[in-house]
Amino acid sequence: MTIYVLRHGETALNAKGVMQGWINEPLNENGRELAAVTGRAMKEEGIRFDACISSPLKRARETVEIVLRESGCDIPVSFDDRIREIHFGDLEGRTFAEMGEAGQLFFRDPLRLSGFPGGESVRDVCARTQAFLRELIAKDDGKTYLIGTHGCAARAMLNFLYADPSDYWQGHAPYNCSVNIVEAEGGVPRITAIDRVYYDPRLIVDHYK
């Protein structure tokens, strides 16, 4: 089986460097275009999805809907709360600079962060997203899945598969509409692509440097 773990396209809050968490923000026009280009490129590569599961948050849902449409895959989207973004609690809607020490630790050493006030810890997100992924892999059904999720949630989901799990961010947050690809056979998963983009790499913007 093949699993494409897709981060959503850009939103207006992304462009401002705001930590969205569970804020239900839609894509902006650039985000929609990145998703459309991604879908068309996947179609050109002959990628066909058998099933799609998304975070229920608008930005993830809208991204997979556009990718499926542009890739020519007429399949329904199901939703799973376990793959929504980390909940920043009282710090939702703040910029990275406004998050203070917690924000610094979130990007420097997130697995040591005890949690955001009124929200979750990164380890909480690892637990729920990895439970989702392990359950999916256990199906061992030979299908190709599109998974629509978020930056921190994607890194959490795949953390146990990276060569160095202690490097949580793998150098940076996943780019908008970037894809991590997992191949699984006999219930044994491996990552075959990290943060692949299907659009011009000159358009990549890292909002959280």
Active site residue 8: yes
Q: Is residue 42 predicted with pLDDT exceeding 80?
A: yes
Active site residue 10: no
Q: Is residue 12 predicted with pLDDT exceeding 80?
A: yes
**What is the pTM (predicted TM-score) of this model?**
0.96
Beta bridge partners of 185: 188
With DSSP H G I counted as helix, E B as strand and the rest as coil, what are the percentages for the chain, rounded to 5? 40, 20, 40
CA atoms lying within 13 Å on the CB side of residue 196: 14
pLDDT of residue 209: 61
pLDDT of residue 207: 73
CB within 8 Å of 135: residues ≥ 6 apart: none
Q: Is residue 97 predicted with pLDDT exceeding 90?
A: no
Q: How does pLDDT run across 105-155, given as a tens digit for each residue?
A: 999 999 999 999 999 999 999 999 999 999 999 999 999 999 999 999 999
Higher pLDDT, 53 or 202: 53
**Distance from C-alpha of 100 to C-alpha of 16, rounded to nearest angstrom:** 17
| Domains and their CATH numbers in the chain | 2-203 (3.40.50.1240)
Q: How does pLDDT run across 56-73, given as a tens digit for each residue?
A: 999 999 999 999 999 999
Residue of 8, 10, 120, 150 marked active site: 8
Residue of 85, 92, 120, 150 marked active site: 85
pLDDT of residue 73: 97
